[in-house]
Amino acid sequence: MPCTVVVGAQWGDEGKGKITDLLAEQADVVVRYQGGSNAGHTVVVGGETFKLHLIPSGILHDHVLSLMGDGTVIDPQCLAEEYTGLRERGVSCQGLRISGNAHVIMPYHIVLDRLQEESRGKSVIGTTLRGIGPTYTDKAARMPQPVRMWDLLDKDVLRERVTGQLAEKNKIIAALYGADPLDVDAVVDEVWQYVPVFGGHIGDTRAVVFDQMARGANIIFEGAQGTYLDLDYGTYPFVTSSHPVAGAACLGTGVGPTAIDDVIIVNKAYMTRVGAGAFPTEQDNDTGQLIRERGKEYGTTTGRPRRCGWLDGVALRTSAKINGATGLAVTLLDVLNPFEQVAVCTEYRVNGETLTMMPGNLDLLADVEPVWEELPGWQTEISGCRSLSELPAKAQAYVARMSELAGVPLKMVSVGPGREETIMV
């Protein structure tokens, strides 16, 4: 294991939280490398459900150091609420370390996210409205004096930063969007009230990772969102503003590529997507509705119903390559229990051509026709299975086909939400 990246192979919501939580039992460190409170990781422990947006899933294990790396963006209100909620439920949160270099999602970023979405009209992205895009935009634009986590430790510094930021942001908010400008004191006070909750956990996470690597620690790099929401490798522009792919685990935490030993891609037994954008295997019909109801496919962060469809082997195969996968974790296999036949897309057809990989020009995705393969369904309850051989033969054949399409060995199969409802291969 020593350094393992856990990354979503689809458009997010693959069940990475559960997989990370399971691997965290053997881990010393779990570090999140990108994204912010747009993520929603649901972990079920002993019948109790934990919904995490920002704090790495490792936090549910007391022995694990849970780091939020330099590449993340952090909403202080969300962090404080999540932290307090966990503490109230008996989670110590002692191992939490937050990078001082992570950029802060400020109230004006959230206002701008909404205003930008409203102004997009038909081209709306369907963001989570959590301020993700505007925060990463400021980071990439090298705005003078943006607010980073270090800056929250001194109220005077915070005020100076906010004053500088609002001098520009308020012009945009008022002149471009005709909305009400924000008040410096109100923004500072709003953010400052949350700092005492987590301020003691802010520090140099890169140093912690280096130190742990030197000790030979088991480290999990936890991705948020998924491969096809990546700013470069996703279905642009219907993507998030960071890089969920495995390569970004290095950028977002400070380690070099040679440090990574394993990459586990997580793929559901079917596909889902939230927000706008192409989705070749979408089933906007009774099949999709049954998957949605059985998989409880409603956003953890926004509550929005997710679009659902059959497994896309082209997307899976491509994802395995983009992430340099060494293993596959299949989640939510039990959702497909009732189906008599299960369809899998193995190739795309477009403009008379057959594609086995996602097209480089993802604009083509809107026009592709899936080539379907039908597999027999297993029509049996499987949540009690604890080994591959206990799965019905047809379900075994299905996950074997997934592994074949991905071109990487099967490592885990999840047959229910609980920690114990998992097959380790």
Per CB under 6 A, residues contacting ligand IMP are: 11-13, 38-40, 125-128, 130, 132-133, 224-225, 229, 238, 240-241, 274-275
Q: Name the residue nearer to ligand IMP (CB basis): 11 or 398.
A: 11
CB 87, min distance to ligand IMP, A? 24
Is residue 284 annotated as a catalytic residue, yes or no? no
Q: Name the residue nearer to ligand IMP (CB basis): 140 or 400.
A: 140
Query: By beta-carbon distance, which residue lies closest to ligand IMP?
Result: 275
Whole-angstrom Cα distance, residue 170 to residue 40?
Answer: 30
CB 369, min distance to ligand IMP, A? 24
Closest CA to 306 of 289, 287, 281, 319: 289
Whole-angstrom Cα distance, residue 290 to residue 337?
Answer: 11
Closest CA to 221 of 185, 257, 177, 270: 257
CB 194, min distance to ligand IMP, A? 20
Whole-angstrom Cα distance, residue 296 to residue 276?
Answer: 19
Q: Name the residue nearer to ligand IMP (CB basis): 133 or 313.
A: 133
Neighbours of 91 (CB within 10 A): 18
CA 290 to chain centre: 24
Q: Name the residue nearer to ligand IMP (CB basis): 38 or 318.
A: 38
Whole-angstrom Cα distance, residue 226 to residue 8?
Answer: 4
Question: Which among 13, 28, 75, 312 is annotated as catalytic?
Answer: 13
CB 319, min distance to ligand IMP, A? 15
| DSSP track, 161-230 | HHHHHHHHHHHIIIIIT-PPPPPHHHHHHHHHTTHHHHGGGEE-HHHHHHHHHHTT--EEEE--S-GGG-
The DSSP bridge pattern shows strands 341-350 and 311-312 to be: parallel
Q: Name the residue nearer to ligand IMP (CB basis): 34 or 346.
A: 34
Question: Which among 28, 41, 70, 138 is annotated as catalytic?
Answer: 41
Residues forming a β-bridge with 410: 328
CB 13, min distance to ligand IMP, A? 5
How long, in residues, is the chain? Answer: 425
Instruction: Provide the Cα torsion 234, 235, 240, 243; round to 10°.
Output: 10
Closest CA to 356 of 347, 369, 343: 347
Report the chain's terminal Cα–Cα distance, integer Å: 14
Q: Name the residue nearer to ligand IMP (CB basis): 97 or 268.
A: 268
Whole-angstrom Cα distance, residue 167 to residue 76?
Answer: 21
CA 167 to chain centre: 33
| DSSP track, 31-73 | EE-SB-TT--EEEEETTEEEEESSS-GGGGSTTSEEEE-TTBE
Q: Name the residue nearer to ligand IMP (CB basis): 107 or 133.
A: 133
Q: Name the residue nearer to ligand IMP (CB basis): 17 or 399.
A: 17
Whole-angstrom Cα distance, residue 415 to residue 425?
Answer: 13
> Tokens for 238?
């219907």
Closest CA to 70 of 28, 105, 34: 34
Positions annotated as catalytic residues are: 13, 41
